[in-house]
Amino acid sequence: MMLKPYFAFAKKSFLKRSAYRFNHLMSIFNTCLQIFIFWGIYKALYGDRTEVDGITMSMVTTNFILSMGLSAVFYVDDYFLPSKIWDGSIANELLRPVSFKGKMIAENLGNAAFNFVFQFVPALLICVWTIGMKPPASPQMFVLFLVSAILGYGVLWSISFAVQMTAFWLVNIWSLTTIKTVFINVLSGSMIPLWFMPEWMRGVLQFTPFSSIYFTPVQIYLGQLSLQEICFQYLVQILWIIVIYFVGNLLWIKGQKKLVVQGG
C-alpha cells in the first residue's frame, strides 16, 4: 500500500508521454540518427581494417547501439526540482503526505519505461536490421548485463539528484547540468568507446561513476569481464549510488532549511 502512490505517479508519467506520439517517433529517429552518424564516422576511420588494437568494428557498433539506446531509456529530468523552486510549487509538494524524492524517482521511472518500450526497442530493431550488432556473450552475461544496466541508471539518477539539489542555492543550474552532461557523454564511453582511451585513463575511469553508467554494462554484454571483475564493478556501481545519493540527500536537508518561496 505504501508504494501505491508511487506506482500511480509512474503510470501517470508513462501515459502522459504516450499522448505525444509524434514526439516519440522523432525520438526514435533521433536515437537511430545518432547511432548511424557515429557508426559512419568509425566505419570511415576503420576503412578496410577489421580491427584496431584488438577492437573490432562490430564491438564498436555494439557499444554505440547499447550505450545510446540506454541513454534514451535512462530518462532523467534534471529540472524536476528546480522548476518547482522557480514557480513556488515546491511549497505545496513538501506538504504532500508522500516523499518528494519518491515522487521524483517514480516519475522518472515511468518515463524510462515508456522510452524502453517505444524508443529503445524500435531503435534497437532498426539498427540491428540495418547495421547489425554482436549478440550477448551468453544468456548468463545478458542477465548480468541487465543488472549492471539497472545499477547504471541508479548512478545516473543519483548524479542528477545531487546536481538538482544545488538549485536551492543557485538561481539557474543550466551551466551545471551542461557540465554534468558533457562529462557523462565523454567519460561514460557512449560517444568515445573507452577502449580507445589511454590505458592509464581507462584504469582511472573504471573507479569513477561515469564509466559505470554505460561502459560497464557494455563490457559485460560482450563478455569482456570475468565473474570476479563483474562483482567488483557491481560493487563500484553500488558504492557510487550510495555516496552520491548521500551527498544529494545532505544538500536536500540543508536546502529545505534555506528555502524561501516568494509569490507562487
What is the DSSP track for 70-96? HHHHS---TTHHHHHHHSSTHHHHHHS
| Cα–Cα distance for residue pair 16/10, rounded to 1 Å | 10
> 4-19 pLDDT, tens per residue?
888 898 988 888 877 7
pTM value is: 0.91
Q: Residue 1 — very low, low, confident or very high, per pLDDT cuts 50/70/90?
A: very low
Distance CA 150, CA 224 (A): 19
166-194, pLDDT tens digit by residue?
999 987 899 999 999 999 988 998 888 89
Please give the share of the chain, as a percent, with pLDDT higher than 70: 98
Rounded distance between C-alpha atoms, residue 53 and residue 30, angstroms? 31
Cell reading at 61: 557498433
What DSSP designation does 134 have?
A: P
Enter the DSSP assignment of 208. Answer: S
Q: Compute the average pLDDT of residues 118-143.
A: 91
Cβ atoms of 220 and 66 within 8 Å: the answer is: no
pLDDT given for residue 89 in this prediction: 86
Q: Looking at the predicted structure, is the pLDDT value of residue 50 above 50?
A: yes
Residue 16: DSSP 8-state? H
Long-range contacts of 247-254 (CB under 8 A, 24+ apart): 247/162, 248/158, 248/161, 248/162, 248/164, 248/165, 249/101, 251/162, 251/165, 251/166, 251/168, 252/101, 252/165, 254/168
Q: Which helix (H) or strand (E) holds 246?
A: helix 227-258
Which residue has cell 561513476? 209
Give 3 or 111, the one with higher predicted confidence: 111
C-alpha cell read off for 139:
544468456
Of 235, 173, 101, 142, the C-alpha closest to 133 is 142
Which of 32, 92, 73 lies closest to 213 in space, CA to CA?
A: 73
pLDDT at residue 264, as a whole number: 46
What are the domain boundaries of the chain?
4-258
224: which strand partners?
A: none
Question: Do you know the residue count of the chain?
Answer: 264
pLDDT tens for 145-168 read 999 999 999 999 999 999 999 999
Give residue-wise pLDDT tens across range 212-239: 999 999 999 999 999 999 999 999 999 9
CA distance 207 to 187: 12
Q: Which residue has the cell 539498427?
A: 127
Confidence of residue 106 (pLDDT cuts 50, 70, 90): very high
